[in-house]
Chains A and B, each alone.
Chain A
Amino acid sequence: MAEVGGAADKDAKAPARLEMRGVTKRFPGVLANDNVGFSVAPGQIHALLGENGAGKSTLVKMIYGVLAPDSGEIFFDGEPARVANPKAARKLGIGMVFQHFSLFEALTVLENIALGLDSKISQRDLEAEIRRVLDLYGLKLDPRRVVSTLSVGERQRIEIVRALLLNPRLLIMDEPTSVLTPQEVEQLFETLRKLAAGGCSILYISHKLHEIIALCDVATILRGGRKVAECDPKKETSKSMAELMIGANLKEIARAPGRAFGEERFAARALNLPKHGDFGIALHDIDFSVRAGEILGVAGVAGNGQNELMEALSGEVSARSADAVVLAGEPIGRLGPTERRARGLCAVPEERNGHAAVGDFTLADNGSLTARRRMGFMQGGLISAGRAANYAETVIKSFAVKALGSTSTAGSLSGGNLQKFIMGREILQEPAALVVSQPTWGVDAGAAAAIRQAIVDLAARGAAVVVVSQDLDELLEVCDSLVVINLGRLSKVLKVGEVTIEEIGLLMGGVHGDPEATAQMTEALHAHPI
């Protein structure tokens, strides 16, 4: 310990709740964190801001004891802390709410929390304790509800309660709002403000700038593993922080003004689909119409039937009647993905790995997955390796995919680059209609802007596009009109520009939007203990 200042500081003022000094972490081939230092004061809401791959997660994992730093020091309440594992972190008073929840769908809230505890405590005491915490922070959650009946926002509250039960002095929130409706986000912020007022420090990880402006006291901005700035978000604009974050000027999406739409190109008519599996969502009377050149957005909280809708539109699941899905006047509801593609309907599912692409395959083979017929790879019954490689190279070049070439495996690409490749693979097929889900999920801002621009350009060339996304900002930026999906039903069509975020938020509702169905499901699951 070369620095002697620690003790003197302590006498001068209250020590920082958390302080990182010169923390460095190296993975094979990449420097994830390079000499990062920042400190979080007690009761402060501190934002950790950066693109995907900027090193936020690595940093947080070191604080929570999942990873150990190669060099550098972590101080907790002024004392050097060595966090060997998450259990030790919790002992120190560090709580964490992960982006992806680890909950058992068939168990109740109470049971889920009991499973995650380090110490043994009776069910009754635990319930009393949970209710106390819920009351204290004004959180709405029924401990006896079964998780599968809860909305994503409610599920997140379970994780928050789980962390709060340990009376944390530092709470880490990893991308907490990515799955919430605007109203749920507001509720979450109130809780966090209350917590901070009570002296708990909050480390808030996000790339959503307006949230950070609304919530946080200080923001540390990371880029490429380095800390590039620390600022007061209230004194910054979204644009200025975004530029610090990506290290370049942000490009606005260019759209031709006064675009006119052609005639109806792609439509669903009374598309119904029974639910598949215990936690699937049935589709009810899905009805929409997209004209040539139009982009229709489908907003909604995750798990409200988006994946089912995607499968029904792409042909992975065929509809009951051919008329349920119509492409350029032709009923295609009973056709499979290959036939639909041949007629000009391309699709990009939400999951990149193992659905839209195969990690162990080369990019050329990944190109063949969907482009083999449309782009004429077939030659005498065989797939021409040369043409497949050429097409992959074309996609790589036109979409600025960072890859060595068509022989690289998809798994060797970063998430953003793979997404660009997948989007490019479909868009360069010049489809008459394109259906995409979460086109920029987990993609850095630069790549996201390029992908959105490509979608807008495709529509400008006369394609009908449907974009399913949980990112409202994205939908508002790209789409001409919007529908909201909730419990497998679509709302009426809303015009972008005329509708407010609050209205959309109300339509998004969440799983708890239908109290009757929820109550029935809870009862049914409890009548038959699992």
Chain B
Amino acid sequence: MRIRFEKRREPSKAMQLLTPIGAVALTMLIGAIIFWAIGYDGPRAVKEIFLTPITASYKWSDVGRRAAPLILIALGLCVGNRAKVWNIGAEGQYLVGALSGAGVANLTRGLEGWWIVPMMLIAGILGGALWAAIPAFLKTRFRVNEILSSLMLVYVALQLLNYLVAGPWKDPNGHNFPQTAPFTPSQMLPHTAFGTPFPPGLFIAFALSLVFWIVMARSEFGLGVRVVGDAPKAARYAGYNADHMVWQAMLISGGMAGLAGILECSSQSGMLNLGFPSGYGFTAIIVSFLGRLHPLGAALAGIVLAITYVGGQVAQTVVHVPNATAGIFQATMLFLILASDVLVRRRIRIDWGRPVAQAAESAA
């Protein structure tokens, strides 16, 4: 018997749309079985994780709050992943973005003006982009693998946060807690926007999904991203430079992560402390793949993953599953999406090949 992977001639559009849904459904099933097997009420845990955040309206605000950074970061990663420039360090860029914005906040303390928040946002974008520029430089100049360098820079960023909030940026009135001084009202965006329970970042994320969609589908740059990822030689032939693409993909994904970071801290937390990093940068990788690297898909997938975050907490209190539950579901989901991706492009063929002895017999 031989098991073979065969390339499909033309992957079906319907399958490409259905597989993410299938992956989510299968994640629920597998999750239920796992938690049942280790002695929890599995079906209930799945219900709390996936349904409660949707059915209970008081959870929507929380879902929106978590969806915003996930979508923003995932939009940037859609560009990078599409071009096969693997930025695994969005978590670090998210942090450095928040830190840069907080730096502007430190400088503008006591000042008033409409310009302060935009300055902070710009600083956040630049900070994230700068952090991502390091792996881009190392990759284009010394051919250092960007997966490793961007990932390692996450830990550098964490140390930077530790140092700043415990040292130079520590709030003098903070009872010696490692945290920055709270932002002043003129350094803050509203907690929720347009009279909805959702944070301003979510609206920005949705607006940017549309922009990214148009850019990726219609612009010369978007065409380049797709060609570089699919066929590097064809990209060179079509006049796209792979190194430029590494730079562009890294700066965009870093900038988006930085924007997510500063939006989170200027509209939600209002300051930085050691609890600020919450893994959005890593989860956004799942979001981008669950959304099939399509900006609109990423917006939807961001909401799904935000639900698992919120639901994980619900399940923790109601079914008493451990804290890591949401993580397990997210990881299962990523695995299943990537597996289904392979199956959309290929099919498994099993040859129940005739044993050789029998073949020889019939030949005789």
Residues of A at the B interface (CB closer than 8 Å) are 79-82, 84-85, 88, 314-316, 336-339, 341, 347, 349, 351, 354-361, 365, 368-370, 372, 378, 381-383, 385, 409, 411-412
- Nearest-Cβ distance from residue A93 to partner chain B, whole angstroms: 13
- Nearest-Cβ distance from residue A511 to partner chain B, whole angstroms: 24
Q: Please pick, from B9, B214, B218, B227, the residue contacting A369 in the complex, using a CB distance under 8 A.
A: B227
| 5 residue pairs from A and B, CB less than 8 Å apart | A80-B363, A339-B239, A349-B237, A354-B234, A369-B237
Q: Chain A: which residue is nearest B221 at the CB level?
A: A381
Q: Are B239 and A79 in contact (CB under 8 A)?
A: no
Q: Are A383 and B218 in contact (CB under 8 A)?
A: yes
Which A residues lie within 8 Å of B233 (CB)?
349, 351, 354-355
Q: Give the interface segment out of B138-146, B249-257, B354-362.
A: B354-362
Q: Are B237 and A355 in contact (CB under 8 A)?
A: yes
- Nearest-Cβ distance from residue A334 to partner chain B, whole angstroms: 14
The docked-state distance in angstroms from the alpha carbon of A369 to that of B231 is: 12
Which A residues lie within 8 Å of B9 (CB)?
411-412
Q: Are B10 and A337 in contact (CB under 8 A)?
A: no
Which B residues lie within 8 Å of A385 (CB)?
218
8 nearest A-B residue pairs (beta carbon)? A338-B239, A369-B238, A337-B239, A382-B218, A354-B231, A84-B359, A355-B233, A358-B231
Question: Is B219 close to A, CB under 8 A?
Answer: yes
Interface of B is mostly: helix
Encoded as 1 (CB less than 8 Å from any A CB) or 0, chain B from 212 to 244 comes to: 001000111001001100110110111101000
Which A residues lie within 8 Å of B220 (CB)?
372, 378, 381-383
Q: Are B359 and A88 in contact (CB under 8 A)?
A: yes
The docked-state distance in angstroms from the alpha carbon of A490 to that of B82 is: 41
Which A residues lie within 8 Å of B360 (CB)?
88
Which A residues lie within 8 Å of B356 (CB)?
84-85, 88
The docked-state distance in angstroms from the alpha carbon of A372 to that of B239 is: 11
- Nearest-Cβ distance from residue A38 to partner chain B, whole angstroms: 20
Q: Please pick, from A79, A88, A355, A382, the residue contacting B231 in the complex, using a CB distance under 8 A.
A: A355
Which A residues lie within 8 Å of B363 (CB)?
79-82
Q: Are A82 and B231 in contact (CB under 8 A)?
A: no
Q: Chain B: which residue is nearest A79 at the CB level?
A: B363
Residues of B at the A interface (CB closer than 8 Å) are 9-10, 214, 218-220, 223, 226-227, 230-231, 233-234, 236-239, 241, 353-354, 356, 359-360, 362-363
Which B residues lie within 8 Å of A81 (CB)?
363
Q: Are A336 and B227 in contact (CB under 8 A)?
A: no
- Nearest-Cβ distance from residue B299 to partner chain A, whole angstroms: 21
- Nearest-Cβ distance from residue A123 to partner chain B, whole angstroms: 29
Which A residues lie within 8 Å of B226 (CB)?
361, 365
- Nearest-Cβ distance from residue B215 to partner chain A, whole angstroms: 8
Q: Are B239 and A358 in contact (CB under 8 A)?
A: no
Q: Are B10 and A409 in contact (CB under 8 A)?
A: yes
Q: Chain B: which residue is nearest A29 at the CB level?
A: B9
Which B residues lie within 8 Å of A369 (CB)?
223, 227, 234, 237-238
Known contacts A84-B353, A354-B231, A383-B218: A316-B223 contact under CB 8 Å: no
Q: Are B223 and A84 in contact (CB under 8 A)?
A: no
The docked-state distance in angstroms from the alpha carbon of A356 to that of B227 is: 11
Q: Chain A: which residue is nearest B218 at the CB level?
A: A382
- Nearest-Cβ distance from residue B223 to partner chain A, whole angstroms: 6
Q: Are A82 and B362 in contact (CB under 8 A)?
A: yes
Q: Are B223 and A368 in contact (CB under 8 A)?
A: yes
Q: Please pick, from A359, A361, A382, A411, the residue contacting B214 in the complex, using a CB distance under 8 A.
A: A382
Which B residues lie within 8 Å of A412 (CB)?
9-10
Q: Are A358 and B234 in contact (CB under 8 A)?
A: yes
Known contacts A84-B359, A368-B223: A316-B236 contact under CB 8 Å: yes
Known contacts A336-B241, A337-B237, A369-B238: A358-B227 contact under CB 8 Å: yes
Which B residues lie within 8 Å of A382 (CB)?
214, 218-220
The docked-state distance in angstroms from the alpha carbon of A293 to that of B243 is: 38
The docked-state distance in angstroms from the alpha carbon of A370 to that of B237 is: 8
Which A residues lie within 8 Å of B227 (CB)?
358, 361, 369
Which B residues lie within 8 Å of A365 (CB)?
223, 226
Known contacts A338-B239, A355-B234: A411-B362 contact under CB 8 Å: no
- Nearest-Cβ distance from residue A441 to partner chain B, whole angstroms: 16
Known: A80-B363, A82-B362, A357-B234. 4 other contacts (CB 8 A): A354-B234, A356-B237, A382-B219, A383-B218
Q: Are B230 and A360 in contact (CB under 8 A)?
A: yes
**Which of B233, B237, B354 has the most C-beta atoms of chain A within 10 angstroms of its own C-beta?**
B237
Q: Chain A: which residue is nearest B361 at the CB level?
A: A82
Which B residues lie within 8 Å of A314 (CB)?
237
The docked-state distance in angstroms from the alpha carbon of A347 to that of B237 is: 9
Q: Are A316 and B218 in contact (CB under 8 A)?
A: no
Which B residues lie within 8 Å of A411 (CB)?
9-10
The docked-state distance in angstroms from the alpha carbon of A82 to that of B353 is: 13
The docked-state distance in angstroms from the alpha carbon of A275 to that of B226 is: 29
- Nearest-Cβ distance from residue A222 to partner chain B, whole angstroms: 23
Known contacts A79-B363, A383-B220: A337-B234 contact under CB 8 Å: no
Which A residues lie within 8 Å of B239 (CB)?
315, 336-339, 341
Which B residues lie within 8 Å of A82 (CB)?
359, 362-363
- Nearest-Cβ distance from residue B8 to partner chain A, whole angstroms: 10
Which B residues lie within 8 Å of A351 (CB)?
233
Q: Are B223 and A372 in contact (CB under 8 A)?
A: yes
Which A residues lie within 8 Å of B10 (CB)?
409, 411-412
Known contacts A82-B359, A382-B218, A412-B9: A337-B230 contact under CB 8 Å: no
**Which of A79, A359, A369 has the most C-beta atoms of chain B within 10 angstroms of its own C-beta?**
A369
Q: Chain B: which residue is nearest A342 at the CB level?
A: B239
- Nearest-Cβ distance from residue B168 to partner chain A, whole angstroms: 43
Known contacts A82-B363, A382-B219, A412-B9: A361-B237 contact under CB 8 Å: no
Which A residues lie within 8 Å of B234 (CB)?
354-358, 369
The docked-state distance in angstroms from the alpha carbon of A438 to that of B230 is: 23
Q: Please pick, from B219, B237, B354, the residue contacting A84 in the complex, using a CB distance under 8 A.
A: B354
The docked-state distance in angstroms from the alpha carbon of A81 to that of B231 is: 43
The docked-state distance in angstroms from the alpha carbon of A372 to that of B222 is: 13
- Nearest-Cβ distance from residue A383 to partner chain B, whole angstroms: 6
Q: Chain A: which residue is nearest B359 at the CB level?
A: A84
Which B residues lie within 8 Å of A368 (CB)?
223
Which A residues lie within 8 Å of B237 (CB)?
314, 316, 337, 347, 349, 355-356, 369-370
The docked-state distance in angstroms from the alpha carbon of A375 to that of B246 is: 28
- Nearest-Cβ distance from residue A390 to partner chain B, whole angstroms: 15
- Nearest-Cβ distance from residue B293 to partner chain A, whole angstroms: 13
The docked-state distance in angstroms from the alpha carbon of A88 to that of B236 is: 45
Q: Chain B: which residue is nearest A348 at the CB level?
A: B237
The docked-state distance in angstroms from the alpha carbon of A385 to that of B231 is: 21
Which A residues lie within 8 Å of B362 (CB)?
82
Known contacts A354-B231, A356-B234: A383-B354 contact under CB 8 Å: no
Which B residues lie within 8 Å of A341 (CB)?
239
- Nearest-Cβ distance from residue A120 to partner chain B, whole angstroms: 20
The docked-state distance in angstroms from the alpha carbon of A109 to that of B214 is: 55
The docked-state distance in angstroms from the alpha carbon of A382 to that of B217 is: 9
- Nearest-Cβ distance from residue A169 to partner chain B, whole angstroms: 16
Which B residues lie within 8 Å of A360 (CB)?
230
- Nearest-Cβ distance from residue A488 to partner chain B, whole angstroms: 20
Q: Chain B: which residue is nearest A352 at the CB level?
A: B234
- Nearest-Cβ distance from residue B96 to partner chain A, whole angstroms: 30
The docked-state distance in angstroms from the alpha carbon of A222 to that of B241 is: 45
The docked-state distance in angstroms from the alpha carbon of A382 to that of B356 is: 60
Q: Please pick, from B219, B353, B359, the residue contacting A383 in the complex, using a CB distance under 8 A.
A: B219
Q: Are B241 and A361 in contact (CB under 8 A)?
A: no
The docked-state distance in angstroms from the alpha carbon of A382 to that of B237 is: 20
**Which of B218, B230, B356, B362 has the most C-beta atoms of chain A within 10 angstroms of its own C-beta?**
B218
The docked-state distance in angstroms from the alpha carbon of A339 to that of B240 is: 11
Q: Are B219 and A361 in contact (CB under 8 A)?
A: no
Q: Chain A: which residue is nearest B241 at the CB level?
A: A336
Q: Chain B: which residue is nearest A354 at the CB level?
A: B231
Which A residues lie within 8 Å of B354 (CB)?
84
- Nearest-Cβ distance from residue B212 to partner chain A, whole angstroms: 13
